[in-house]
Amino acid sequence: MGLGTVLSKKMRTTPPVRFVVISFLILILIGGLVLALPICSRSGQGTRLPDALFTSVSAVCVTGLSKFDTWVHWSAFGQVVILLLIQLGGLGIITFTTGFTLLFRQKLGLRELSLAARENLQGENLNVSQLLRMILTVTFVAEGAGALLMALRFVPQFGPYGLWLAVFHAVSAYCNAGFDIMGFLQPYGSLIPYAGDPLVMVPTYALMLVGGLGFVVISDVYYNKIYRRIKGQKPSPLSFHSAVVLISELVLLALGMLAFLSLEYDNTLRGMNWGDKIITAWFQSNTVRTAGFTAVDVTQQRDVTTLFSLVLSFIGTAPCSTGGGIRTTTLVVLGATVISVLRGREETVIRHHMISHTAVYRALTIFIGNVVTVLVTAGVVLLCNSEKHVGAMVALQEAVAACSTIGISPSLTPLLDDPSLIALSIAMFIGRVGLVSFGLSVSVRHMGKPGCVMPEARIIVG
């Protein structure tokens, strides 16, 4: 039996969850080894393997934390490698989470309202290969359109190099990665030089929003609203999932913008005209939950603004998207559960629909898992950097940035030692792959024999 046959058989028999984890690990390892090569650094002297691996983890897990300023340290070839890792990481996440989930749900039928292809693409008979082709189409069309709009600003300023700037930032924004190559203007400055500039802010915002909504919601809106209108048919209602995602997204964006505008009006937004202040606050309300780009100096924010941003970062984006966090739907389910308990209900109800106990348990598990991961990571950072007088809030920012794959850091990452980088790498991997693996594993129902019925026990809580 040949090696190819053995590998092919192994891939067919490997559980999807394990295949996802292995594929990400392989991509991270290859990326780290390549980034360590001298050709990838601007100095030509190579990069320490731990630092290269950390950058690879951050790129593949579309986080944005970095030991170095991307433009200052990495050569043009190194930047291309990072961009490829971001694109492969982003596409891999979408492909595996959406593709496998829809495939499994489709096979299992409509046992409950879920993210199944039949439910979200009502009336559209799409197999997995068609679905993945659509994902690629949406990805490259969105990134291409965003790059063209950004090029209108960058090309007049920087000539042909402006095209590379536009492409890099379009891909980074859509994949919610947050990497930038603006270090030649301001090292570690992200998009601060373009705060209030609509030709940069608006495309970046739109790409982060589309990537953060998830392909399931985008396809639902397209087929049930836009496509049916084009065909002269009456639009169909959006799925329950899409409606919850869109409503929660609008609420969080509005609250974020109002909070940032009111808290930073005379601080980091000082000196801007009203229009620029609104655009910047509007941008920040989105980026703290998605890519991690920033249009202001986060180290100069008020503490209350930082705390509010941490909450938004912890929440993150929608399921089956390029973003991270506990997910907006998790927040909605937990919030509805709390309200139901306070009202004396035994069932969780959202918009006159009962949410299954399984979904509530998943939401609770994801929430607790993220809290534990954040606290452990912050503890490791504090423990390993006690001589640097790292504050608890700063360590918490770093931990949330890693666990939620947001990447907005208080400039602490370049100062961290190897144990801290390892802790952050594990947190990024768990935040991106661990919870995804959990979601995929619980989406497959094992239709075996029912388990033993356990006696009920009573315990006093609260």
- In order along its 462 residues, the chain shows pLDDT tens digits of 555 555 455 555 556 667 777 888 899 999 999 999 999 999 999 999 999 999 999 999 999 999 999 999 999 999 999 999 999 898 775 465 555 554 454 443 333 333 333 333 333 444 455 666 677 788 889 999 999 999 999 999 999 999 999 999 999 999 999 999 999 999 888 999 998 899 999 999 999 999 999 878 888 888 888 878 888 888 888 889 999 999 999 999 999 999 999 999 999 999 889 988 999 999 999 999 999 999 998 889 999 999 999 999 999 999 878 888 999 999 999 999 999 999 988 899 998 889 998 889 989 989 999 999 999 999 999 999 888 888 889 999 999 999 999 888 877 889 999 999 999 999 999 888 756 454 454 444 544 445 567 787 878 777
Q: Let me know if residue 459 belongs to a domain.
A: no
Which ranges in 75-183 belong to alpha helices (H)?
76-94, 101-108, 117-120, 128-158, 161-174
Q: What pLDDT does 447 receive? A: 43
Is position 8 within any domain?
Answer: no
Instruction: Convert the pLDDT of each residue in 162-206 to its tens digit.
Output: 999 999 999 999 999 999 999 999 988 899 999 889 999 999 999
Placement of tokens 């897990």 in the chain:
61
How many folded domains does the chain comprise? 1
Of 407, 332, 381, the C-alpha closest to 60 is 407
Q: Is residue 241 part of a domain?
A: yes
Encode pLDDT of 306-315 as tens digits: 999 999 999 9
Domain with 384 in it: 13-438
Closest CA to 282 of 215, 190, 209: 209
Q: The dihedral of CA 199, 92, 252, 303: what is its sign?
A: negative
Instruction: Please answer whether residues 96 and 436 qualify as being in contact, where contact means their C-beta atoms are separated by less than 8 angstroms.
Output: yes
Using DSSP's 3-state secondary structure scheme, residue 68 falls into: coil
When computed from its CA atoms, the radius of gyration of the chain, rounded to whole angstroms, is: 22
Cα–Cα distance measured from residue 186 to residue 386, given in angstroms and rounded to the nearest whole number: 29
457 domain-assigned: no
Paired tokens of 96: 């595996």
- Residue 295 phi/psi, 5-degree rounding, is -105, 5
Total-model pTM? 0.86
Q: For residue 462, tell me if it sits in a domain.
A: no
Angle between helices 198-213 and 128-158 (to 10 degrees): 170
44, 38 in Cβ contact below 8 A? yes
In a domain, 452, yes or no: no
Return the biggest CA–CA distance within the chain: 73
**How far is it, in rounded angstroms, from Cα 280 to Cα 379?**
33
Closest by CA position to 86, among listed 64, 53, 54 = 64
Answer for the pair 56, 424: CB distance below 8 angstroms, yes or no: no
Would residue 189 count as lying in a domain? yes
Determine the Cα–Cα distance for residues 96 and 437; give it in Å rounded to an integer: 10
Judged by phi (left if over 0) then psi (alpha if -120 to 50, else beta), residue 64 lies in left
Structural domain contains residue 300: yes
Give the number of other Cβ atoms within 10 Å of residue 383's Cβ: 13
Residue 232, Cβ density class (10 Å: 0-12 exposed, 13-18 middle, ≥19 buried): exposed
